Amino acid sequence: MSERLEDIAARIVADGKGILAADESTGTIKKRLDSIGIEATEETRRDYREMLFSAEEAMRNYISGVILFDETIRQKAKDGTPLVDLIRRSGAVPGIKVDKGAKPLAGFPDEKITEGLDGLRERLNEYYELGARFSKWRAVIAISGSLPSWGAVKQNAQALARYAALCQEAGIVPIVEPEVVMDGAPGDHSINRCYEVTEWVLNTVFHELYDARVALEGMVLKPNMVIDGKDARKASREEVAEKTVRCLKATVPSAVPGIAFLSGGQSDEEATAHLSIMNATYDMPWALTFSYGRALQAPALKAWGGKSENVAAGQRAFAHRAKMNGLATRGDWKEELEKAA
Q: Which residues are catalytic?
A: 177, 222
Q: Provide the pairing of β-strand 112-114 with 102-104.
A: antiparallel
For the chain, give me the number of helices (H) and strands (E)?
14, 10
Q: How far is CA 234 from CA 190, 277, 283, in A?
A: 9, 16, 25
Give the H or E element holding residue 321: helix 311-328
Nearest-angstrom CA–CA distance, 17 and 298: 19
Give the H or E element holding residue 134: strand 134-141
Q: Which of 65, 333, 115 has its CA nearest to residue 222? A: 65
Q: Which residues pair with 294 in a beta bridge?
A: none
Nearest-angstrom CA–CA distance, 62 and 323: 6
Do 271 and 263 meet the contact criterion of CB atoms below 8 Å apart? yes
Longest dimension (CA), the chain: 53
Nearest-angstrom CA–CA distance, 138 and 292: 13
Nearest-angstrom CA–CA distance, 317 and 321: 7
- Between vectors from CA 143 to CA 189 and to CA 117, what angle results, nearest 5°? 160
Strands (DSSP E) found in 142-186: 173-180
Query: In sequence order, which residues have a C-beta less than 8 Å from that of residue 49 and are 6 or more positions away?
Result: 22, 72, 75, 83
Do 224 and 198 meet the contact criterion of CB atoms below 8 Å apart? yes
